[in-house]
Amino acid sequence: MNALDIIKPENQVFCKSKLMTDTTLSYCPGCGHGTAHNLAMEVIDEMGISEDTIGVAPVGCSVLAYDFMNIDITQAAHGRAPAVATAIARTWPEKYVFTYQGDGDLAAIGTAETIHACNRGENIVIIFVNNGIYGMTGGQMAPTTLEGMRSSTSPYGREIKSMGSPLKMTELVANLPGVHYVTRQSVHTHKHARKAKKAIKKAFENTRLKKGLSFVEIVSNCNSGWKMTPLESNIWMEEHMFPYFPLGDIKVNGILK
Amino acid sequence: MSELKLMKGNEALAEAAIRAGVDAYFGYPITPQSEVIEYLMTERPEERTGMVVLQAESEIAAINMVYGAASTGKKVMTSSSSPGISLKLEGISYLAGAELPSVIVNVVRGGPGLGTIQPSQADYFQSVKGGGHGDYKLYVLAPSSVQEMADFVEDAFNIAFKYRAPVLILSDGLIGQMMEKVNLKDQQERLTDEEVIKQNGDWATTGKTKNRERNIITSLDLQSEKMEARVRRLMKKYEQMEQEDMRYEEFQTEDADYLFVAYGSSARIAQKAVQLARAKGIKAGLLRPITLFPYPKKVLFDLADQVKGILSVELNAGQMVEDVRLSVEHKVPVEHFGRTGGIIHTPEEVLEALEQKIIK
């Protein structure tokens, strides 16, 4: 079988979403961001809502999300995406509004905006990509960096006593009444990506039904920041990240699992 | 057809915002401007016009909500007082960088730090010299009456949308808290979503339709040449503001030997000082900058040929006086007079300062 046989439409398992631009991704080879972007764009395309969707990009590796997603996007100040999305959703209640944020953006500098947008039950989708590190700025410790994990600002490993425990933002917001749907997924295998896509779709469906806030965490890798090969980083993620950040639904239809 | 009412400055501003067809207000309580959000919450503008009013979790969240709604072409504003404006400055810099029309109101109190809740004009530097990071300026309107608190809302939005830029209304605790009669304009219809798209759809993130490229709102340009082009575009706007939209008012300057320069609440006090001076045979006049940027530099430069000296009267330790000096280019002596800590100078004190510092 040659390559052309493999890429026949009937054999295709995944392809680039029509809503992804042809711009070369700025992400490191092996990073999960590209897949997460593509899944979000597939969902928006399949639901036929691209003309009514407004994205909010963060500060971090995905600051340039607007270069890759062929939809209208407002790029927010560091951590403020949920506040920006709040205002867009309030002034355009018929639109689909989502934020796409990393762990430093959402769980450190933007903690207040995250918690309060969740608590108000804003009718938005938050896609939270958690790779346990500040990738964009060169691999510093994030609020979600695991105990003992090395980074450029925890060069001897994260020490709980002085640096605190890795923050489980997803479990935290799940306890707020305004939050309708909370799930934790990953995108490192086809099987996981399919499940993540279902979760993202459910989140956007919730917006359509005006159910309030949907929060989709995607535990992902950062092979560059973790100083591993892509494959090593995915194995390390399974062995170390998943036990602390277990995959699966945390809150469905407003009810904690 | 307008309506005459007796109102506080902060309330007049809030009512004017509803009547100007503003789409959204996001705020956070702080003295002495909390009446703005209190009035809006009480008035239920969502029922009167469909205007969104939301109490944010912080001033930072509020200014970023302004950024969000402004990025979609909606008419949006926030208000706060000095320490709260300091918190908003990052967001204001983003609004300027991303070229978003928006209105910010500062009902100034004394500082630095937590300072005092009493009136002050100590945020002049912060307002006209940048405040936030980067090369940007704000168009700054300084009301000196409750009437102007109301009128400047619409004026501010007209400028904001003309230039796609944030506009600051620089009031203070005195103008915000005092009651005066005010003529309120008739209700203006809010734009429908379709009208917003028609008016701003070429740049705003209202949802990408098939007949146009995607719209992106950002202040980021990683390519230096592009970033420099953005900065130049901003500077061009500011030049145009100086040419087309600078505002000021003169009071008895025609034959003046001495000139007060004052804005906002200080201008009211200086105006009285002009009358006291003339009663004593001193020919004083007043120049009131209405816009603090653009500043009436040329007017001052020309007046300096006529007068023997200038006193800059401000409720601060000496801020605008620097711009007065820059404007007159050492043609005549320029001094500053002002009280701080929330103390309001009296017209008698102002006249005494003129006699001691300028006339001698």
Secondary structure (H, E, C), chain B: CCEEEEEEHHHHHHHHHHHCCCCEEEECCCCCCCHHHHHHHHHCHHHHCCCEEEECCCHHHHHHHHHHHHHCCCCEEEEECHHHHHHHHHHHHHHHHCCCCEEEEEEEECCCCCCCCCECCCCHHHHHCCCCCCCCCCEEECCCCHHHHHHHHHHHHHHHHHHCCEEEEEEEHHHHHCEEEEEECCCCCCCCHHHHHHHHCCCCCCCCCCCCCCCEECCCCCCHHHHHHHHHHHHHHHHHHHHHCCCEEEECCCCCCEEEECCHHHHHHHHHHHHHHHHCCCCEEEEEECEEECCCHHHHHHHCCCCCEEEEECCCCCCCHHHHHHHHCCCCCEEEECCCCCCCCCHHHHHHHHHHHHHC
Q: Is B240 a member of any domain? A: no
* pLDDT at B341 > cutoff 90: yes
pLDDT for A176 equals 98
Domain count, chain B: 2
Provide the mean pLDDT of chain A.
96
Residue B92 resides in a domain? yes
Interface mutation target, options A45, A63, A84, chain B, most CBs of B under 10 Å: A84
B194 CA: distance to closest CA in chain A (Å):
11
Half-sphere exposure for B328 (CA within 13 Å, toward CB): 24
Residue of B nearest to A74 (CA): B217
Interatomic CA distance for residues B47 and A62, integer angstroms: 39
Q: Is residue A47 part of a domain?
A: yes
Helix (H) or strand (E) holding A89: helix A81-91
pLDDT in tens, B76-87: 999 999 999 999
Give the residue-averaged pLDDT of A117-146: 97
How far away is chain B from the Cα of A63, in angstroms, using its nearest Cα? 9
In whole angstroms, what is the distance from residue B161 CA to residue B166 CA?
A: 9
Q: Look at residue A134 and tell me if it is in a domain.
A: yes
Domain-embedded: residue A190: yes
Residue A8: its pLDDT value, please? 77
- How confident is the model over B95-105, as a mean pLDDT? 98
CATH number, domain with residue B290: 3.40.50.920
Q: What is the pLDDT of residue B2?
A: 84
Let me know if residue A108 belongs to a domain.
yes
Residue A8 lies in a domain: no
Instruction: Tell me how many degrees the CA angle A115-A103-A202 measures, rounded to the nearest 5.
Output: 70
**SS3 of A35, please?**
helix
pLDDT, tens digit, 9 for 90 and up, residues A198-240: 999 999 999 999 999 999 999 999 999 999 999 999 999 999 9
Taking an 8 Å cut-off on Cβ atoms, the answer to whether A91 and B215 are in contact is: no
Q: Which domain holds residue A131?
A: 26-256
* A19 inside domain: no
- Residue B99 falls within a domain, yes or no? yes
pLDDT in tens, A64-99: 999 999 999 999 999 999 999 999 999 999 999 999
For residue B29, being part of any structural domain is answered with: yes
| B223 assigned to some structural domain | no
Average the pLDDT over B242-255 and give the result: 98
Looking at the structure, tell me whether residues B175 and B301 fall in a common domain.
no
Are B105 and B21 in a shared domain? yes
Tell me how many domains chain A contains.
1
From B76's Cα to the closest Cα of chain A, the distance in A is 10
**Tell me: the pLDDT tens digits for B30-68?**
999 999 999 999 999 999 999 999 999 999 999 999 999
Q: What's the CATH code of the domain at B45?
A: 3.40.50.970
Spatial CB neighbours of A17, under 8 Å, sequence gap ≥ 6? A38, A41, A42, A45
| Cross-chain CB nearest to B193 (options A63, A85, A92) | A92
Q: Which residues contact A76 (CB under 8 A, 6 or more apart)?
A: A56, A57, A58, A59, A83, A84, A99, B64, B67, B68
Tell me, yes or no, whether B38 and B179 share the same domain.
yes
Q: Residue A235 in 3-state DSSP? A: helix
Tell me the residue range of the domain where B41 lies: 3-193
Q: Pick from B151, B173, B193: which residue ends a domain?
A: B193
**How many inter-chain contacts (A to B, CB under 8 Å) are there?**
124
- Using CA coordinates, name the residue in chain B closest to A66: B216
**Residue A122 maps to which CATH number?**
3.40.50.970
Does residue B354 lie within any of the structural domains?
Answer: yes
The per-residue pLDDT for range B157-200, each reduced to its tens digit, is: 999 999 999 999 999 999 999 999 999 999 999 999 999 999 99
pLDDT of B320 reads 98
Interface of A with B (CB under 8 A): 50-54, 56-57, 63-64, 66, 69-77, 80, 83-88, 90-92, 94-95, 112-113, 115-116
